[in-house]
Amino acid sequence: MPRIGRKVGAAPTYGIGAASVNYTLIVILLEYSAWGLLTMPMIATLKETFPEEPFLMNGLAMGIKGILSFLSAPLIGALSDIWGRRLLLLVTVTFTCLPIPLMFVHSWWFFVIASFSGVFGVTFSVVLAYVADVTQPEERSRSYGVLSATFAASLVIFPALGNLLMDMYGINAVVLFATIIAAMDVLFVWLAVPESLPKKVRTSISWKQVNPFLNLRRMDSDKSILKLCLIISLLMLPAAGEYSCVPAYLKLRIGFDFVELSTLIAFIAFLSIAMNMVLGSLTRAFGAKRVILVGLGLNMLQLLLYSFGTEKWIMWMAGLVAALGSMSFAALSAYVSIYCDSASQVVVQDTINGLSSLCNGLGPAVFGLIFYLSDMDLSEGPSTNVDQFQEHTVAAPFMFGAICVLIAILVAISIPPGHESKGKQADLSEMHYVIEM
């Protein structure tokens, strides 16, 4: 058995050494470290750049990026099948990191370029293809899990580090540090990463490959699959919207300072990693359907806490519940592995990934628009205009999300329990989840 991260016959033409998973870990760590450093500076810059409607502009910027990523991901994947992973990895890393130094030039241009960088900013899609090239099928789940842990680790460490640097040296120092890391990432791909896809197995491009809506059309092939897709959409739409706005919401509306905010982000990320590590045990003990229902219930509860809470301790409680409910998407993927036969497994998973990517674009835009329509984009913080803030104790975007998840729970009640009773029990000890930023 070849060691993880190496496949016989995949000799590189460029780079250093043989293609392996280790290269993708470094690429992901550098990319998300650079962006993680900017978490707190981006919130401060967002308020200064768009003082009248920060949530709306934040939602539109992230929404445009997500939708463009959804539309372009199949094309990038098809091109990597033709030209190789290394070239497309270089392109996606370059465009993903391109907006970072623009914070030096003009913050308005930073948000514009960050939005449209989504056309090529799909590094994770190419990375997953790279991992598939260099691993055996039985090793792949473990490798994807390590990738997810690397991504999550960047969320634990680098927002807090960026906040510390901002306090000590100012925003420009953080941007400089992030720019250096981003440049190191591009240079690493260019000089060190070897090709993983041999020329003899490369394919030609077809319309089916680049059509992002192709897999979505297959949802009606099975009523249970259609229900699963509906549940995932109703879960991921508010999850993506929440992810895009919660840090800014806690800072600008609830009054969190940057230290509290970075600590809360690290706490949620760390606990989320722990929850997903025990997902396999929970699923074996209680069944995938029960775990899904519990996860959805926790997601609805944390959205309700964000909707009605005005105190910091309530937001910490919401963060705790959010971390516990983070297993929902992975549990749904686990359910698919139990419910679907091997022949339809890839198609269903591709459909789920397509829906997730689409929600990653629509969610931030929808939340930003609801914030704007509900008059939550006030220039004053909660401490300067308490009466006006109290009129908006129900945060409409989070209430919208809670209603979406409630519908998802009602749909999930009706899905079959899976095949556990028939003796088909998947090994879920290494289930993973991936969040595309």
What CATH number does the domain containing 351 carry? 1.20.1250.20
For residue 355, count CB atoms less than 10 angstroms from its CB and return exposed for 0-12, middle for 13-18, buried for 19 or more.
buried
Same domain, 177 and 222: no
Taking the C-alpha atoms of residue 212 and residue 66, their distance in angstroms, rounded to an integer, is: 13
Confidence of residue 13 (pLDDT cuts 50, 70, 90): low
Mean pLDDT over the full length of the chain: 78
Structural domain span for residue 184: 13-196
Q: Decide: residue 52, CB within 10 A, 0-12 exposed, 13-18 middle, 19+ buried.
A: exposed
Confidence of residue 222 (pLDDT cuts 50, 70, 90): low
Same domain, 257 and 382: yes
Residue-level pLDDT at 191: 92
Q: Do 219 and 192 fall within a single domain?
A: no
269 in a domain, yes or no? yes
More confident residue, 153 or 6: 153
Single-letter amino acid, residue 144: Y
Does residue 366 lie within any of the structural domains?
A: yes
Tally of domains within the chain: 2
pLDDT exceeds 70 at position 339:
no
- 193: DSSP letter: P
Question: Domain boundary at 196, 229, 245, which?
Answer: 196
pLDDT at 187 over 60: yes
Instruction: Say what the pLDDT of residue 337 is.
Output: 63
**Percent of the chain's residues with pLDDT above 70:** 78
DSSP 251: I
Interatomic CA distance for residues 288 and 167, integer angstroms: 45
When pLDDT is cut at 50, 70 and 90, the band that residue 93 belongs to is very high
- Nearest-angstrom CA–CA distance, 94 and 89: 8
Q: Let me know whether 152 and 28 are in one domain.
A: yes
356 within a domain of the structure (yes/no):
yes
Q: Report if residue 349 sits inside a domain.
A: yes
Same domain, 400 and 324: yes
231 within domain boundaries: yes
Q: How confident is the model at residue 406 (pLDDT cuts 50, 70, 90)?
A: very high
Same domain for 173 and 234? no
Is 314 inside any structural domain?
Answer: yes
- Start-to-end CA span in the chain (Å): 34
User: Among positive and negative, which fits the CA dihedral 301, 237, 156, 135?
Assistant: positive
Are 154 and 224 found together in one domain?
no
406 and 291, same domain (yes or no): yes
Among the residue ranges 202-206, 300-304, 418-422, the one predicted with the least confidence is 418-422
Q: Which of 22-31, 126-135, 212-221, 396-405 has the lowest mean pLDDT?
A: 212-221
Q: Are residues 130 and 271 in the same domain?
A: no
Q: 98 with 127, same domain?
A: yes
Question: Average pLDDT in the 204-212 region?
Answer: 67
Mean pLDDT of 137-146: 70
Q: Which of residues 196, 221, 250 is at a domain's end?
A: 196
Do 330 and 433 contact (CB within 8 A), yes or no? yes
**Which distant-in-sequence residues (6+ apart) come within 8 Å of 363 by Cβ?**
63, 66, 236, 237, 238, 239, 240, 241, 242, 243, 244
**Is residue 159 scored above 90 in pLDDT?**
no
Q: Which of 397, 392, 355, 415 is nearest to 219 (CA)?
A: 355
Q: Is residue 96 part of a domain?
A: yes
Domain shared by 282 and 314, yes or no: yes
pLDDT at residue 178 in the model: 94
**Domain presence at residue 201:** no
> 263 and 151 share a domain?
no
